[in-house]
Amino acid sequence: MEMQYSSNENVNNALFFFYSVFMLVIILAGIRRRRTSAPIPPGPFSWPVIGNLLQLRSNPHIKLSTMAQTYGPIMSIRLGARLVVVGSSPKAASEILKTHDSILSARHISYTHPSSSPKLNKFAIGFAKECNEHWKNLRSICRAGLFSARAVQSQVKIRERNVANLVKYLHAKDGEVVDMSDLIFKLVLNIMGNILFSMDLFEFGPDENCSPGAQLKVLMAKFLNLLGSPNLEDIFPILHGWDIQGKQKMAKDIHEKMFKIWNQTLKERREKRNIIREDFLDTLLDIGFSDEQINHLLVELLLAGTDTTNIIIIWLMSDLIKNKNEMNKVRIELQTFIGDRFLEESDIMVLPYLQACVKETIRMHPPIPLLLPHCATETCNVMNFTIPKGSQVMVNTWAMANDPSIWDDPSSYRPERFLDSGVDFKGNNFEFVPFGSGRRMCPGLPMAFVQVQYVVACLVNTFNWFVPRDNDLDEVDMEEVYHLALRKKNHLELIPRAVNQWIEIMKIGE
């Protein structure tokens, strides 16, 4: 009996010994893992359920810049259930957009967007959830047909003709107040409409508000408003699939109405394939795209290309009006190299000061200050912090553009900082990435850069510009509003006065 008791005791002791060793191993492994796996980036306190949503309701680029001063160049916040990592320094931008580009270049898309459906996502570029074969194929089709040096060169006549139409219109309005924000939007939309499917969406003149462009403008604004307002499904994934706010349905209806604007053109073009036009629509038909594919791609390109370019032209004109010295330097450069004749697009190659002004304006007013939302496809380590799989990732280009440790006196308009500096926005200087960098970088940069320079060069060389109400420069407010893009809050109203009445504008662009 006693012997049986002592053998049980031995067994118990042995079990206890093995259990203790096992627990010790687990605890040590836990400590080791905690030491080796880095924490997620620091950030402000976030409320249960809603996270930091309320703090970011307006001007998130500014609020995030302020937070970055406390939490550092790589920090995290929560939007509802989603973890959002924000990079705000050149080092963080380079790690996100270059070093970890292959992991961090997926996209977060709102459920409001029709491209959030797996079927339509195959037709999207900017809203493609992953950098897959469909996305690669679309990007290379767009590069060849729209953005390569050859494609941009083939669009010269379209830009020259449309800018000439605007200049003629402004000549007729000499001395009157004109709404430049409205006119430039129409100009840019017309250029895009012609490049994409050879359609004049607007006529400058009395009937302009009945044109298809006027309807498209309203629809685009409605869609951007819809996309910019929160969708509860994005914040609380448990609601996914219910469309309780009806936003998916509204977005779908808006898209259908947009498609109708070029529906007839598309139909005719399919029927008469032998007529040579050689615009982008022809390229897509030649490749064999379906109507559905074409419609979704056209909407995406019109949205991506019109608003951004328009925003920059308006900011550049506002910056030059406000900064008389810089405006004079642009005028002197134009007089020296162009003189009194009307500009051709190739002339912009010889205008380095104007180029520096474009860069300075884009630095001060990056149209997409937080880039489009990236997403992590895998967990990765950035600057010794863990970015978990599925997190949203942003780069705050506005924070870097306003950082006094990067730019001398960042709030002053000083185009000279770009003359001979070698700093460019082509994605290699991470302190200045308004078009992004890496595989998701804006493919439209070459087209946008030419367009902005040419339009502004023509406007400045052909007219003197005055501010309504006694030419008081204080009347030109520079208030910004962030709504997916960073635009000028109030319309820019100016008075054009022709520099040379005798310029033969009737022949321009013909």
The alpha carbon torsion through 352, 355, 356, 362 (nearest 10 deg) reads: 180
Binding mask 110-139 for ligand HEM (x = CB under 6 A): ---------------xx------------x
Asked if residue 319 lies in contact with residue 361, where contact means CB atoms within 8 angstroms, the answer is yes
According to the binding rule CB under 6 A, does residue 316 interact with ligand HEM? no
Q: Which residues contact 423 (CB under 8 A, 6 or more apart)?
A: 359, 429, 431, 432
Question: Closer CB to ligand HEM, residue 135 or residue 202?
Answer: 135
According to the binding rule CB under 6 A, does residue 301 interact with ligand HEM? yes
Question: Closer CB to ligand HEM, residue 46 or residue 318?
Answer: 318
Q: Tell me phi and psi for residue 91, to 5 degrees.
A: -65, -45
According to the binding rule CB under 6 A, does residue 184 interact with ligand HEM? no
Per CB under 6 A, the segment of 12-20, 237-245, 324-332, 444-452 that binds ligand HEM is 444-452
**CA dihedral (316, 317, 321, 326) positive or negative:** positive
Q: Which of 96, 178, 294, 371 is close enough to bind ligand HEM by CB under 6 A?
A: 371
According to the binding rule CB under 6 A, does residue 158 interact with ligand HEM? no
Q: Rounded to whole angstroms, how far apart are CA atoms 328 and 326?
A: 5
According to the binding rule CB under 6 A, does residue 314 interact with ligand HEM? no
Q: Which of 367, 415, 427, 509 is close enough to bind ligand HEM by CB under 6 A?
A: 367
According to the binding rule CB under 6 A, does residue 372 interact with ligand HEM? yes
According to the binding rule CB under 6 A, does residue 443 interact with ligand HEM? yes
Closest-approach residue to ligand HEM (CB): 444
DSSP string across 346-369: GGGGG-HHHHHHHHHHHHHS-SST
Per CB under 6 A, the segment of 3-11, 37-45, 68-76, 303-311 that binds ligand HEM is 303-311
Question: Closer CB to ligand HEM, residue 41 or residue 193?
Answer: 193
C-alpha closest to that of 131 among 104, 149, 151 = 104
In 173-212 the beta strands, taken as DSSP E runs, fall at: 178-179
| Cβ burial 221-252 (10 Å sphere, 16+ → b, else e) | ebbbebbeeebbbbbeeeeeeebebebbebbe
Binding mask 403-442 for ligand HEM (x = CB under 6 A): -------------------------------xxx---xxx
Q: Which pair of structure tokens corresponds to residue 507?
A: 């022949």
Binding residue per annotation — 380? no
Asked if residue 110 lies in contact with residue 80, where contact means CB atoms within 8 angstroms, the answer is no
According to the binding rule CB under 6 A, does residue 380 interact with ligand HEM? no
C-alpha closest to that of 495 among 467, 472, 458 = 467
Per CB under 6 A, the segment of 169-177, 365-373, 398-406, 457-465 that binds ligand HEM is 365-373
According to the binding rule CB under 6 A, does residue 369 interact with ligand HEM? no
C-alpha closest to that of 444 among 18, 238, 151 = 151
Pick out the residues of the known binding site for heme. Answer: 442
Where do contacts with ligand HEM occur on this chain (CB under 6 A)?
125-126, 139, 301, 304-305, 308-309, 312, 367-368, 371-372, 434-436, 440-444, 447-448
